[in-house]
Amino acid sequence: MRASRLLSILILLQLRGRLTADALAAEFEVSVRTIYRDIDALSAAGVPVYGDRGPGGGFELLDGYRTRLTGLSAAEAEALFMIGLPGPAAALGIGPAASVAGNKLLAALPSGAGDAAGRIGSRFHLDPVNWYRAADSVPHLPAVGRAVLDEVRVTMRYESWTGERDWEVEPVGVVLKAGAWYMVARGAGKLRIFRVSNLRAFAATEEKFVRPADFDLATFWTEEMARFETELRPGIAVVDATAEGLIRLAGLGAFAEVAVAAAEGNRVRLPIETIGQAALMLLGVGPEIDVIDPPELRTALAALAGQVVARHAAALPELSHAAYMASDDRLAESPEPS
């Protein structure tokens, strides 16, 4: 256990630079006294680590010191190869480099760990695009990724729902979500999210910028997604649903699935965007729900259903009740991809 912690301390110092004893103690959930003993052990083993006391002090490796990649368990090696699955790497333009790096890692591992890690690429495949959808065309993605890594300002022409606009931004991160790539960048005084497939032109400048030291991409993305989803569906529709209705509601999306899971009996509080959008969405649930509130949604849903009936009224005499039920059953039993 201690040997693993010593190696982890060495790797952290190599990756992050100077770290205080308090920070290391919190990282490994041990006492500060234990960290001091670990640092002494590293020094005794020949690792050039030194420390400064007082404000701004901490432990640091001698400039230029690097350690070889050693001590990986089979599970850790497998995890590295899972991170490096080929799809996203190829999209970013680093597929060949990732492949070569993987081969070098395999060569550096003991035979047992190498064999186990090598199976990852042949037995796991990452396909983030949803059913019946094509992946975005992202010709500018490699340039975006390079600008993020190089910390250089970029100029770009971006098309949003309001039209095209020229931007000059500081790109700080790239995110892949549900098959779509997004760039997080500071522009016009705030952090913004741009869909990479909507870039119509993109060029890196020679002007460097300083990436905020306290910026955490994963935290920012999680908070922005929560805010976006809340603002996207600011309204609430209260509906009573049959057992089948609950199943159909949950199939509308993750937001509806959460609402169904929190239902009180058969009553669901469903987040909605607008009355019109909610009527279109709930029409597909059929006669398995009863809208309780707001009354405007109940009226809009009835009106929409009436328009559908009016448009198809000519076919009603030819459609027997039995045929209708059989058709409805076939739709309900349509197989999902397996």
User: Is the Cβ–Cβ distance between 117 and 74 less than 8 Å?
Assistant: yes
Percent of the chain with pLDDT over 70: 76
**Per residue in 57-80, pLDDT tens?**
788 888 767 665 555 555 666 566
Distance, CA of 139 to CA of 200 (rounded, Å): 10
Q: What is the mean pLDDT of residues 287-303?
A: 96
Taking residues 13-22, what's their average pLDDT? 83
Q: What is the spatial distance between Cα 71 and Cα 10, in angstroms, rounded to a whole number? A: 12
The sign of the torsion formed by the CA atoms of 262, 265, 266, 269 equals: negative
Query: With 70 as the cut, is the pLDDT of residue 99 above it?
Result: no
Q: Within 10 Å of residue 229's Cβ, how many Cβ atoms?
A: 13
> Is 330 domain-assigned?
no
The rounded mean pLDDT for the chain is 83
Predicted local confidence at residue 93, as pLDDT: 75
What 3 state SS string does 191-216 have?
A: EEEEEHHHEEEEEEEEEECCCCCCCC
Are residues 174 and 250 part of one domain? no
Measured in degrees and rounded to the nearest 5, phi and psi for residue 241 equal -130, 145
Residue-number span of the structural domain to which 30 is assigned? 2-61
Going from the C-alpha of 109 to that of each of 5, 77, 117, 156, the distances in angstroms are 20, 8, 9, 43
Lowest-confidence range among 23-37, 80-94, 101-115, 246-260? 101-115
Q: What pLDDT is recorded for position 331?
A: 45
Domain-located, residue 68: no
Both 118 and 149 in one domain: the answer is no
Asked if pLDDT for residue 315 goes beyond 80, the answer is: no
Domain assignment of residue 98, yes or no: yes
Distance CA 134, CA 197 (A): 12
Mean pLDDT of 213-234: 90
- Statement to judge: residues 224 and 246 lie in one domain: no
Residues 6+ apart with CB under 8 A from 129: 135, 178, 179
Residue 129 lies in a domain: no
Res. 319: pLDDT tops 90:
no
What does the alpha-carbon distance between residue 82 and residue 66 come to, in Å, rounded to a whole number?
A: 25
- Given 203, 230, 257, the domain boundary residue is 230
Is residue 111 predicted with pLDDT exceeding 70? no
Which of the two residues, 337 and 193, has the higher pLDDT score? 193
Domain count, the chain: 4
Asked if residue 130 is part of any domain, the answer here is no
More confident residue, 84 or 59: 59
Which is more confident, 320 or 300? 300
The residue-averaged pLDDT of 280-291 equals 95
Residue 329 lies in a domain: no
Question: Alpha-carbon distance 63 to 49, whole Å?
Answer: 10
Query: For residue 39, which amino acid is it?
Result: I
16 with 40, same domain? Answer: yes
> For 78-82, 88-92, 145-149, 213-217, which range has the lowest pLDDT when averaged over its residues?
78-82
For residue 82, what pLDDT is reported?
Answer: 55
Question: How open is the CA angle 280-284-286, to the nearest 5 degrees?
Answer: 120
Considering the domain architecture, whether residues 51 and 87 belong to the same structural domain is answered as no
Q: How many CA atoms lie within 13 A of 153 on its CB side?
A: 13
| Better-scored residue on pLDDT, 316 or 189 | 189
Tens-place pLDDT, residues 176-209 = 988 889 999 999 999 999 999 999 999 999 999 9
| Better-scored residue on pLDDT, 122 or 164 | 164
Q: What percent of the chain has pLDDT over 90?
A: 45
Residues 7 and 53 occupy one common structural domain: yes
Q: Which residue, chain included where needed, has tokens 């199976």?
A: 119
Query: Residue 320, Cα to own-chain centre: how many angstroms?
Result: 48
Is 318 a member of any domain?
no
Q: Where are the beta strands (DSSP E) in the chain?
A: 49-52, 58-61, 152-160, 163-177, 180-187, 190-195, 199-208, 235-241, 267-272, 289-293
Q: What is the pLDDT of residue 71?
A: 57
Cα–Cα distance, 103 to 83 (Å, whole number) = 14
pLDDT attached to residue 336: 46
Name the band, by pLDDT with cuts 50, 70 and 90, for residue 254.
confident
Q: What is the CATH number of the domain that holds 175?
A: 2.30.30
Query: Dihedrals φ, ψ of 322, to 5°?
Result: -65, -40
In this structure, are 226 and 244 located in the same domain?
A: no
Lowest model confidence (mean pLDDT) among 123-137, 277-291, 301-315 = 123-137
* 38 part of a folded domain: yes
CATH, residue 47: 1.10.10.10
pLDDT of residue 290: 96
Give the least confident one: 59-63, 80-84, 236-240. Answer: 80-84
pLDDT interval class at 334 (50, 70, 90)? very low
Q: Which residue has the higher pLDDT, 150 or 135?
A: 150
